[in-house]
Structure 1
Amino acid sequence: MTPQTFRTPLTALTGVAHPIVQTGMGWVAGPRLVSATANAGGLGILASATMTLEQLDKAVTEVQERTDRPFGVNLRADADDADQRVGLLVRRGVRVASFALAPKESLIKRLKDQGIVVMPSVGAPRHAEKVAAWGADLVMVQGGEGGGHTGPTPTTLLLPSVIDAVDIPVVAAGGFHDGRGLLAAFSYGAAGIGMGTRFLLTSDSAVPRAVKEHYLTYGVQGTVVTTKADGMPHRLLRTDFVRSLESEGAVRRLARAVRHTARFKELSGMSWRALVRDGLAMKRASERSWGQTVLAANTPMLLKAGLVDGDLGAGMLASGQVVGVIDDLPSCAELIDRIVAEAAGRAVTVQELAAGAGSPAES
């Protein structure tokens, strides 16, 4: 691991060596990727939304067997068993809790009282202001280039507006993949960067190699933001399957959702009653319509088909636009080392420019 080069509020709060976060991608951010990121000095985030409580417990155990460095767990604030999952993090000494949706104030307080760092993801300054007022330690802001669904505003506009709106550290996500991006984020005032697609496309990612190589064939225009999976916007590779998904009718989508709900129930071990409670909680937390709530099981199962089963003809492949500038599959250690080295080298160049070295006035 490269020795610590940049000390920021992110590294101070979490105890990691480098201000680089591997985001909690469902079906992708498992123990192998998280521990590889942690051992390379970054902050690995374990994705738990597609795990049962028992599966999460086993995953945390596996990460802790693979690394003694800090890591985090991404939680669904609207999950029916959110309190139990928080209790698990407390018992197991997990360092960071991240959230895709804003957690309740009471949940933030409970985590902070136990010494866990709280990092919600936001897509607007007002969302950052809300969680900051509730006690969040830092926020991750994701621009429209990213693979999530935080809105269309690009990182270059969203990041400075969030930094100006809050007094807590901000982690920048959406479009980052190299040392130039890390240094640019610092120049905006960010405490570090978060990356999803770039970590998915590493040799430590459990995504099938053939699928990862398929990603590498896409350009920056090779993704599309669609609402056809569950009524919520998702950025995906523009595959033949996604094109067909975009054109299918409501009846077919509903039938698919019913099948996927049954399959998700089987995989998760949840009862129908628990699934209904979970769906109602999701609807309240995210302001989804009833139709969107019914379709919600589509997304995890379609992502599993693509990212776990490797079925390019019947699965979705989540991706940020950054996929178009990625052309290799390094290990997490190789990736983080070269990002840090490049950022440090370019920082020297910027300092020389600021000092006027080599300027016409000095010649």
Structure 2
Amino acid sequence: METALTRLVGVRHPVVQTGMGWVAGPRLVSAAANAGALGILASATMTPDQLRAAIREVRSRTGAPFGVNLRADAGDAGERVRIIVEEGVRVASFALAPSRELIGRLKDAGVVVVPSVGARRHAEKVASWGADAVIVQGGEGGGHTGEVATTVLLPQVVDAVDIPVVAAGGFHDGRGLVAALAYGAAGIAMGTRFLLTSDSTVPDAVKERYLAATVKDITVTTAVDGLPHRMLRTPLVESLERAGRARALLRAVRRAAGFRGLSGLTWSQMVRDGLAMRHGRDLSWSQVLLAANTPMLLKSAMVDGRTDLGVMAAGQVAGVIEDLPSCAELVDRVMAEAREALGALPAPGAASPG
């Protein structure tokens, strides 16, 4: 199925595997790429040296195009852009709107720039700065999310910009792909659905927790980092919501120190990142500290398998996912379902049955 997305990035299918921290590593990304989707490597939880090594590992596993996701507000974003350019990565995606300068630097090097946004005005801004495409995530999506449903946000963005739009938030099958195409999107992006594959390195016990969840077990909370965050409701999340601010901050400082050791960031770099996080948002310094805590809470579940100590970001689709296919099986299934759904649509002007 050829769309503006497949032509832009050179993949076979209009499907994107999103860059999820601690989840979207070389194994998952290369499996998604080999399946014909656009795999996106998550770099925010890696040091620059680890990022370079991960890019090279993906390339050793696949000859297909892939991308790297960056935090636009990170203090070392410029260094990570340099690595992407030097390593010849096809696509750079961003969790937040990148600056005009970062977009220009990447485009000058021939890298396709695809920011993720959660509002029409952000899509309009990055499009005016030269972004090649945009991923728009509605409120159904996992992790940090907004309040506007994909079915409302997606057509707004499609009407507002003249670059390819990829739909995210609430997608897990071929019917969703067809619906997104009908809205004018050039493809879909999926996070939770790719997390729940046999190619994902997330521990089996954590995957089982996801598979057991119903749509009512997935909540949006601000207790983790002060921002709306969609995740599985667990006893830990409930305890964070009940905890006093002082107790939550004490936990956050301890875990932020642990992340500093893993990431290689200095305290001054973390403070600069905190300032960047506050920019444009009404965040207190206590919320910034809680945000610095988030990567370690995610790592506890996604890497260490400690569902009692970690949080599990999840889109609402986790409540309807019931199996763990390989990436190849998943993408093949999505495309087969899409063809079937398209074939079942009535021709224009045809009488409806009955």
Q: 1:74 aligns with which of 69, 74, 84?
A: 69
* Residue 356 of structure 1: aligned partner: 350
Question: Would the alpha carbon gap of residues 124 and 358 (structure 1) be closer, same or farther in structure 2, given more than 3 Å must change?
Answer: closer
Q: Do the aligned residues in 2 keep the contact of 1:108 with 1:135 (CA within 8 Å)? A: yes
Of residues 184, 192, 214, the one that matches 1:189 is: 184
Give the Å deviation of 1:295: 1.8
Which residue does 1:110 correspond to in 2?
A: 105
User: What secondary structure does 2:141 align onto?
Assistant: coil
Give the C-alpha shift of residue 303 in structure 1.
Answer: 0.5
Alignment of 1:173-212 (within 5 A): 173-212=168-207
How is 1:18-33 mapped onto 2 (pairs within 5 angstroms)?
18-33=13-28
Q: Which runs of 5+ in 1 are unaligned?
A: 1-5
What is the CA-CA distance between 1:298 and the residue it aligns to? 1.4
Cα distance in 2, alignment partners of residues 349 and 339 from structure 1: 15
| Alpha-carbon distance between aligned partners in 2 of 1:8 and 1:314, rounded to the nearest angstrom | 42
Match of 2:115 in 1: 120
Unaligned 5+ residue runs, structure 2? none
Measured in 2, the distance between the counterparts of 1:285 and 1:112 equals 25
Conservation of the 8 A alpha-carbon contact between 1:224 and 1:237: yes
Map residues 84-233 of structure 1 onto 2, 5 A cutoff: 84-233=79-228
Aligned residue in 2 for 1:45? 40
TM-score by length of 1: 0.95
Aligned-partner Cα distance in 1 for 2:47–2:351 = 58
Aligned to 2:257: 262
Q: Which amino acid letter does the alignment assign opposite residue 354 of structure 1?
A: P
CA displacement 1:143-168 (0-9 Å, x = unmatched): 11110323111111111011111111
Answer whether contact 1:257 1:298 (CA < 8 A) is retained: yes
Query: Residues of 2 paired with 1:151 and 1:271: CA distance?
Result: 31
Contact 2:141 2:230 in 1 (8 A): yes
Amino acid corresponding to residue 356 of structure 1 in structure 2 = A
Q: 2:224–2:237: 8 Å Cα contact kept in structure 1? A: no
| Contact 2:104/2:130, CA 8 A, preserved across alignment | yes
Q: Does residue 295 in structure 1 map to residue 290 in structure 2? A: yes
Q: CA deviation at 1:69?
A: 0.5
Offset of residue 279 of structure 1: 2.2
Distance 1:150 1:313, change over 3 A: closer
CA RMSD of aligned residues (A): 1.3
Helix, strand or coil for the counterpart of 1:235?
A: strand
| 1:222-273 deviation digits (Å, cap 9, x = unpaired) | 1111111111111010111111111111011110011011101111122222
Number of equivalences: 354
CA-CA distance at 1:307 after TM superposition = 1.0
CA–CA distance in 2 between the matches of 1:75 and 1:288? Answer: 21
DSSP 3-state at the match of 1:354: coil
Partner of 1:3: none
Q: Using the alignment, how far apart are the partners of 2:102 and 2:282 within structure 1?
A: 19
Write out per-residue CA displacement over residues 280-303 of structure 1, whole angstroms, 9 at most, x where no aligned residue.
233336553322212222110001
Which consecutive aligned stretches of 4+ in structure 1 deviate over 4 angstroms post-superposition? Answer: 357-360
User: 2:47, 2:264 within 8 Å by CA — same for their partners in 1?
Assistant: yes
- CA shift, 1:320, in A, is 0.6
CA contact (8 A) 1:122 1:150 kept: no
Equivalent pair of 1:78/1:285 in contact (CA under 8 Å) = no
Letter in 2 for 1:186: L
- The aligned amino acid for 2:2 is R
